[in-house]
């Protein structure tokens, strides 16, 4: 499993290929029905293994698991001042 922390920039995003899969992760400022927030996301794809992605911001921890060949898309929302942390796993 890999951890990444994204900072306070307006939009922070990256794409990596860990564990034999594809991982898109980052954060962005958004406006929702709840007001101005930060969206923290971790989207992980693996062609041959059950896998997961996790997005954590403040006390909100969202993990999504997917079957091989499908995306595990985890999105969490919190205060714009909070740090976004993301994880992936190729062994869910």
For 24-58, how does the pLDDT look when each residue is reduced to its tens digit (9 = 90+)? 999 999 998 999 999 999 999 999 999 999 999 99
CA distance 59 to 71: 24
- The residue segments making up the domain with residue 83 are 2-89
- From residue 65, how far is each of 46, 70, 73, 83 by CA, in Å? 11, 9, 8, 23
The burial class, CB within 10 Å (0-12 / 13-18 / 19+), for 18 is: middle
pLDDT for residue 17: 86
Number of structural domains (the chain) is: 1
Which of 80, 79, 71 lies closest to 25, judged by CA? 71
- CATH code for the domain of 59: 2.60.40.2850
- Please give the share of the chain, as a percent, with pLDDT higher than 90: 77
pLDDT classification of 9: cutoffs 50, 70, 90: very low
Average pLDDT over residues 5-34: 77
């Amino acid at each position: 499993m890999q951890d990444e922390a994204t900072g306070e920039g307006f939009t922070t995003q990256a794409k990596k290929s860990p564990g034999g899969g594809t991982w898109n992760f980052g954060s962005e400022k958004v406006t929702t029905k709840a007001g101005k927030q930060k969206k923290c996301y971790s989207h992980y794809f693996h062609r041959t293994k059950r896998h997961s992605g996790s997005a954590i911001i403040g006390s909100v921890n969202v993990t999504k698991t997917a079957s091989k060949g499908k995306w595990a898309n985890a999105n969490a929302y919190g205060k714009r001042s909070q740090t976004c942390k993301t994880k992936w796993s190729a062994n869910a």
